């Protein structure tokens, strides 16, 4: 009986010292494990005098219950404490700002293309696409640039395998494709924006890949005045109502006569500055009346039909409009901030 009392005291002391679940589990082994102190008391019962057996048994049970109750209680406390600690550690501060997912923005080249498309579609033009891998036949030959023609030299071309296929050096072949597809009938009003390629060393004003937009109108009784009027609307839409336009004589094999299209400098209003190289004028594209040879090549009777064509360098327009001084900025699109700034400028 004394042993039981002693043990209860010892157990009470031990329980006070428990600091964590490990301590608690060690106590479990020490007291009610196979060789634990309480289990051993249980085995003593057979040596206890008969009349004390009942009392002894009750006390041993008592102390066992005491241990179990304390054990469960402490285990619960420890578990709860652990849960609370973890909750505290992993707590989410819902008032913190979330992670911003960066979003893209419309590229300057695309901005120009979109505004030209919108304008010209409103004037009845269709937007047509053509292949970037093109036939020499369409890129040059049918456009009145036969093999060996000196004007080919100006377009240092990427040929593919042999002389027959190339990366288109201009969007003009889409004129040919459109006329051939229309089989000599119907008025044609089409524009074709797209990528073009030349074997240029990349520098501030040259890129081996660049963007052009072709325009073609074939109908009856078209004049250079129609072309001038169309260019005027384009210039004003892109660069503001106070822009003046002018044509300068030029040469392209696919147009006759051919012109360079100039706008009065939007920076100095024609007075002369470094953007217009002190001329007051900026060249933004080439154009002209479709050469009868080209019409005939593409199945159109030049006695019945005529028309005009134009071609803009979209990169140049974007650089002028957004004040970009290096074409490589348009094609090395590594920093979203480069694009973002055009959002702000537009608004
Ligand atoms: N294809 C010409 C170039 O790349 C630009 C051009 C000039 C297109 C006159 C035309 C045009 O349609 O009529 O330099």
Give the ligand 1 atom nearest the CA of 169: 4
> What's the whole-model pTM score?
0.72
**194 in ligand 1 pocket by Cβ < 6 Å?**
no
Assess whether 178 and 309 both reside in one domain: yes
Which neighbouring-strand residues pair with 191? Answer: 127, 215
Assess whether 194 and 160 both reside in one domain: yes
More confident position, 184 or 67: 67
What number is the average pLDDT over the span 106-119?
95
For residue 345, what pLDDT is reported? 59
**307 in ligand 1 pocket by Cβ < 6 Å?**
no
What number is the average pLDDT over the span 53-81?
92
CATH number, domain containing residue 154: 3.30.930.10
Asked whether the beta carbons of 199 and 154 are under 8 A apart, the reply is no
Per-residue pLDDT band at 103 (split at 50, 70, 90) = confident
Give the ligand 1 atom nearest the CA of 171: 1
For residue 285, how far is its CA from the centre of ligand 1 (angstroms)?
Answer: 7
For residue 347, what pLDDT is reported? 44
Burial 28-61 (b: 16+ CB within 10 A, else e): eebbbeeebbbeebbeeeeebeeeeeeebeebbe
> What are the backbone dihedrals phi and psi of residue 182, each rounded to the nearest 5 degrees, phi first?
-85, -5
- Classify residue 97: in a domain, yes or no: no
**310 in ligand 1 pocket by Cβ < 6 Å?**
yes
Assess whether 76 and 114 both reside in one domain: no
For residue 4, what pLDDT is reported? 83
Instruction: Kindly give the interhelix angle for 224-239 and 108-122, rounded to the nearest 10 degrees.
Output: 130
Assess whether 77 and 38 both reside in one domain: yes
Assess whether 121 and 78 both reside in one domain: no
Taking residue 133's Cβ as centre, other Cβ atoms within 10 Å add up to 11
% of the chain with per-residue pLDDT over 70: 98
For residue 312, what pLDDT is reported? 97
Of the candidates 277, 223, 287, the one whose C-alpha atom is nearest the C-alpha of residue 249 is 287
For residue 15, how far is its CA from the centre of ligand 1 (angstroms)?
Answer: 95
The whole-angstrom separation of Cα 313 and Cα 316 is 5
Of the candidates 230, 193, 192, the one whose C-alpha atom is nearest the C-alpha of residue 308 is 230
Query: Given 36, 59, 89, which residue is the final one in a domain?
Result: 89
Residue 242 CA, distance from chain mean position: 35
For residue 239, how far is its CA from the centre of ligand 1 (angstroms)?
Answer: 21
- Kindly report, residue by residue over 37-47, the tens digit of the pLDDT: 988 888 888 88
- Kindly report, residue by residue over 315-327, the tens digit of the pLDDT: 999 999 988 888 8
More confident position, 163 or 145: 145
Number of structural domains in the chain: 2
Query: Given 62, 89, 116, which residue is the final one in a domain?
Result: 89
Give the ligand 1 atom nearest the CA of 290: 13
Helix (H, G, I), strand (E, B) or coil at 256: strand
Looking at every residue in the chain, the average pLDDT score rounds to 91
The whole-angstrom separation of Cα 154 and Cα 140 is 12
- Classify residue 95: in a domain, yes or no: no
- Best mutation site among 251, 310, 314, 315 for ligand 1, i.e. most ligand atoms within 8 A of its Cβ? 310
Give the ligand 1 atom nearest the CA of 175: 12
For residue 138, how far is its CA from the centre of ligand 1 (angstroms)?
Answer: 14
- Classify residue 103: in a domain, yes or no: no
- Kindly report, residue by residue over 299-312, the tens digit of the pLDDT: 999 999 999 999 99
Please compute, for residue 260, the number of CA atoms within 13 A of its CA located in the half-sphere on the CB side.
10
Give the ligand 1 atom nearest the CA of 212: 4
**311 in ligand 1 pocket by Cβ < 6 Å?**
yes
For residue 333, what pLDDT is reported? 67
Instruction: Give the range of the structural domain holding residue 161, as residue numbers without chain letter.
Output: 108-346
Query: Given 89, 122, 138, which residue is the final one in a domain?
Result: 89
- Kindly report, residue by residue over 191-238, the tens digit of the pLDDT: 999 999 999 888 888 899 999 999 999 999 999 999 999 999 999 999
Assess whether 82 and 222 both reside in one domain: no
Per-residue pLDDT band at 30 (split at 50, 70, 90) = very high
Strand pairing report for 245-252 and 209-219: unpaired
For residue 346, what pLDDT is reported? 58
Question: Is the CA virtual torsion 70, 76, 79, 82 positive or negative?
Answer: negative
Give the ligand 1 atom nearest the CA of 312: 5
């Amino acid at each position: 009986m004394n042993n039981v009392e002693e043990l209860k005291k010892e157990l009470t002391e031990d329980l006070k010292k428990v600091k964590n679940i490990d301590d608690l589990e060690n106590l479990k082994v020490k007291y009610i494990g196979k060789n634990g102190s309480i289990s051993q008391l249980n085995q003593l019962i057979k040596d206890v005098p008969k009349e004390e057996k009942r009392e002894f048994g009750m006390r041993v049970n008592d102390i066992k219950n005491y241990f179990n109750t304390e054990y469960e209680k402490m285990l619960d406390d420890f578990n709860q404490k652990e849960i609370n600690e973890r909750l505290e550690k992993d707590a989410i501060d819902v008032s913190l700002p979330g992670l911003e997912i960066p979003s893209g923005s419309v590229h300057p080249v695309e901005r120009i293309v979109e505004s030209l498309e919108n304008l010209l579609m409103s004037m009845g033009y269709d937007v047509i696409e053509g292949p970037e891998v093109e036939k020499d036949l369409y890129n040059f030959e049918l456009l009145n640039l036969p093999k060996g023609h000196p004007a080919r030299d100006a377009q240092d071309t990427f040929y593919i395998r042999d002389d027959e296929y190339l990366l288109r050096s201009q969007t003009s072949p889409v004129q040919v494709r459109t006329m051939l597809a229309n089989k000599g009938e119907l008025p044609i009003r089409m524009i074709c924006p797209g990528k073009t390629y030349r074997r240029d060393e990349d520098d501030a004003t040259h890129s081996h890949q660049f963007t052009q937009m072709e325009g073609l109108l074939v109908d009856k009784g078209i004049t250079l005045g129609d072309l001038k009027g169309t260019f005027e609307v384009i210039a004003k839409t892109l660069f503001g109502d106070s822009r003046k336009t002018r044509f300068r004589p030029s040469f392209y094999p696919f147009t006759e006569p051919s012109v360079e299209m100039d706008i009065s400098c939007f920076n100095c209003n024609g007075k002369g500055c470094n953007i217009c190289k002190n001329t007051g004028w900026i060249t933004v594209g080439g154009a002209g009346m479709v050469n009868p040879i080209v019409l005939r090549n593409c199945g159109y009777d030049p006695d019945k039909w005529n028309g005009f064509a134009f071609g803009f360098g979209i990169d140049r327009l974007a650089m002028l409009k957004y004040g970009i001084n290096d074409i490589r900025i348009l094609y090395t699109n590594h920093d979203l901030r480069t694009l973002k700034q055009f959002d702000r400028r537009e608004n």
